[in-house]
Amino acid sequence: MSVSIRSEPNLGKRAERLSTISGLAAATLMVVSVFLPWVRTTVRVDSVLGLADLGVPVGARGFPLISTAGGLEPWFGKGALVLAILAVCLLLLRRSWLLFGVGAVSLVHALLALGFYVPQAARSYGDRFASRLALLPEAAEATVSGGGATPGSGLLLFLFASYLLFASTAWVGRAVEIHRRIAGLVSRATSRVGTLVAWLALGMVLVGAYNAVARKLDQYSDIHLSSNALIETQWYMFSLVFLLAGAWTLREDGHVRVDVFYGRLSLRGRAWVDLLGTLLFLLPFCACAIWFSLPLVENSWGVREVSPDPGGLPRYPLKTFVPLAFLLVAMQGHAEVVRSIRRLVERSSSDLPPAESSAPGDSQHAGEADRG
């Protein structure tokens, strides 16, 4: 059955209360994150005793991010603390438009920390460790041959809190329309990408059919119509369809659901499940996938990785689409967050028992306007 949407008398108060709660939670997490380790570094030591991996978390002795301990750049921590305090002040003043800007700046700040602060911390700590190692007589032949770094709990918490602060302005205020325009733009972009990628499925079928016929003809002639390049072309097309169509599938609610309770919930209940699932599972998973795939892509480009099979295709361009695909899914995830928030602040007339309410697929049509 069709579902009509109408405004609720206390819509503004409810939306404002939810926006304030989520904003205060985000600002609190931002303040806490500043005093947690933002990076964990690992150095590799070559010595006469062999290889030893020494994993040392920066801030393990309580050094906060705003400290200059270890020769780290202090402006990351000071900037994060200033943004957290500013967020609290704007929440108390109920300046949603300015809070939207602070949330966006905090997101950029967290991404810069991932891109610059973590590698710089690894180099800084590696240099300090090497200088101290050189002063030890028993380690005269030891050298620091390499090091690495991973985000610490503070940085990950700040990244999550920054996005939560940014999304909290989608409940009420002048920033709501901006969020909806961004969500519509993202939805249209993912739809176009998905439509273009869908044509690769046809190309994959055609190339696969040609390969099957060519391999059969090769058995009766020495022309060699098939090749490893054509076979890998089919694989690469399938990989692109799988990677780049993920955001489009999310937009169309086409991913597989293990539905136990979801179909029995009202539209508001489904919106809460979608919202919390995106915030707690989808977006963190996309962030982890992007982070762990970037070194693989960098190494692949560094060596210009190619297929080990004779006549195979280069693989480094294809691996580039792995982080790009998860970035598209994350962007569409934000559009789904905005759409779920819009459902929650609009009262549905489907306050009926589960048997009389609409089917699960109706929730997709109810929010079609939000998808642009």
Write down the pLDDT at residue 312.
84
pLDDT bucket at 2, cuts 50 / 70 / 90: very low
The yes-or-no verdict on residue 296 having pLDDT over 50 is yes
Label residue 63 by pLDDT band (50, 70, 90). Answer: very low
What pTM did the predictor assign?
Answer: 0.77
Q: Write the pLDDT tens digit of every residue in 137-187.
A: 554 455 555 556 667 777 888 889 999 999 988 887 788 889 999 999 999
As a whole-number percent, the residues of the chain with pLDDT over 70 amount to 71
Largest CA distance in the chain: 81
Specify whether the CB–CB gap between 343 and 337 falls below 8 A.
Answer: no
The type of residue at 334 is H
Identify the weakest region by mean pLDDT among 69-83, 187-201, 304-318, 327-341: 69-83
Could you state, in order of their start, the residue ranges of all structural domains in the chain?
1-173, 174-372
pLDDT digits (tens, 9 = 90+) for 218-242: 777 777 787 888 889 999 999 999 9
Q: Percent of the chain having pLDDT more than 90?
A: 27
What is the C-alpha separation between 251 and 242, in angstroms, rounded? Answer: 15
Strands 347-348 and 5-6: antiparallel
How many other CB atoms sit within 10 Å of the CB of residue 28?
A: 14
Instruction: Give me the pLDDT at residue 247, please.
Output: 93
**Are 230 and 210 spatial neighbours (Cβ–Cβ below 8 Å)?**
yes
> Of 222 and 68, which is predicted with more confidence?
222
Residue 120 has pLDDT above 80, yes or no: no
pLDDT for res 173: 77
Confidence at 78, pLDDT banded by 50, 70, 90: confident
Confidence of residue 366 (pLDDT cuts 50, 70, 90): very low
237-293, pLDDT tens digit by residue?
999 999 999 999 999 988 887 778 888 888 888 899 999 999 999 999 998 898 888
The pLDDT tens digits for 191-203 are: 999 999 999 999 9
Q: Are 14 and 115 in contact (CB under 8 A)?
A: no
pLDDT for 239: 92
Most confident of 91-100, 310-319, 325-334: 325-334
- Torsion, Cα 271 275 280 283, to 10 degrees, reads 130
